[in-house]
Amino acid sequence: MARVTGIGGVFFKSSSDAKALAEWYRRHLGFDLADFGGAIFNWSEDTASDGGLTVWHVAADDSDWFRPSDARFMINYRVDD
């Protein structure tokens, strides 16, 4: 059975202005926002060939990105297989 080696991504919908919320995270928590509006956290000690990373992103409330799910958040796990 595969084992989780880390968090691949954290994604959630904002019921208000997603860009403004992402900007709040940048200003108050120091998130380095990429061009796509989210943040990428690289794993400096990961032994995987791609180095490993975790993506964080706020989606607009009306986004259908999570479809077919109606969930307001999504967490992707990185596994060893």
Whether pLDDT at 50 is above 70: no
Residue ranges per structural domain of the chain = 4-79
Which residues on neighbouring strands pair with residue 9, listed in sequence order?
Answer: 55, 76
At 49, the pLDDT band (50, 70, 90 cuts) reads low
Q: Are 23 and 30 in contact (CB under 8 A)?
A: no
Whether pLDDT at 57 is above 70: yes
pLDDT of residue 81: 79
Q: Give the model confidence (pLDDT) of 16-48 as tens digits.
A: 999 999 999 999 999 999 999 999 998 876 666
Please give the Cα distance from 64 to 46 (Å, whole number): 32
